Amino acid sequence: MLKLGVNIDHVATIREARYRGVITGEPDPVEAALTCEAAGAHGITAHLREDRRHIQDRDIFELQKRIKTRLNFEMANAPEIVAIALKLKPHIVCLVPERRQEVTTEGGLDVVRNERALLQTRKRMNAAGIEVSLFIGPDLDQIEASARIGAQFIELHTGAYAEHFSNKRRCKIELNRLIAGAKLAHKLGLQVNAGHGLNLENLPLLHRVPHLVELNIGHSIVSRAVFVGLRQAVKDFLAAMKNYKG
């Protein structure tokens, strides 16, 4: 069964637009996470950025305390955030690149160039009982490097696939890259998640990518929730995923 992890960063973004620097405010991303769980989501994803632009420290610790599914803690490989992760002890961390000017994470990690640093963080997380995922593009060299450092998961960046979905030729190229990447990762013993830019239009074609464990989706679920409500939005995505054969 293909699992759905709901990224609640965009709920926090809405809150911070009005309540930046205030301890309380709406909408509450923790309550949003609980609603997603009640609707059938298999996990919750949240990214504590170094600049704290959306998710705050209090959100992360409250999530770990209150959710009953799997917390996927997205994070930069930065000393302050690594220390928080080791204190938090989520089920899994997903190491992502982080640039201050971007609105959301726009690219994958360069594991090849940062292999030594990522290896050290992977060892520290695993020693604390935390699984490690690396957010990477469907590049074969990056996948091989991810296996070398001993990550348990990779999360394939589906942004290029989503961006070119309306162009049949480019979409086919990007889809084939994802398929090849997933096959190699599986062969090397890595578990495969995917995410970025996925929506109800482009998700069905993604079923052609083998060996997927979980999709992490945020923006499209939150934007759909404006019209149908958060619970129904989650259910709509679960319905679109249920025929995945792996």
Ranges of H-type helices in 89-133: 115-127
Known catalytic residue: 74? yes
pLDDT in tens, the chain (246 residues): 999 999 999 999 999 999 998 888 999 999 999 999 999 999 999 999 999 999 999 999 999 999 999 999 999 999 999 999 999 999 999 999 976 554 455 679 999 999 999 999 999 999 999 999 999 999 999 999 999 999 999 999 999 999 999 999 999 999 999 999 999 999 999 999 999 999 999 999 999 999 999 999 999 999 999 999 999 999 999 999 999 998
Length of the chain: 246
47 catalytically annotated: yes
Whether 219 is catalytic is no
Asked if residue 193 lies in contact with residue 214, where contact means CB atoms within 8 angstroms, the answer is yes
Domain ranges of the chain: 50-217
CATH class of 50-217: alpha beta
Q: How far is CA 57 from the centre of its chain?
A: 18
Catalytic residue among 37, 74, 155, 214: 74
For residue 122, the tally of other CB atoms under 10 A from its CB is 23
Query: Residue 115: in which H helix or E strand, if any?
Result: helix 115-127
Q: In what helix (H) or strand (E) does residue 61 lie, and over which residues does it extend?
A: helix 57-66
Q: What is the pTM of this model?
A: 0.94
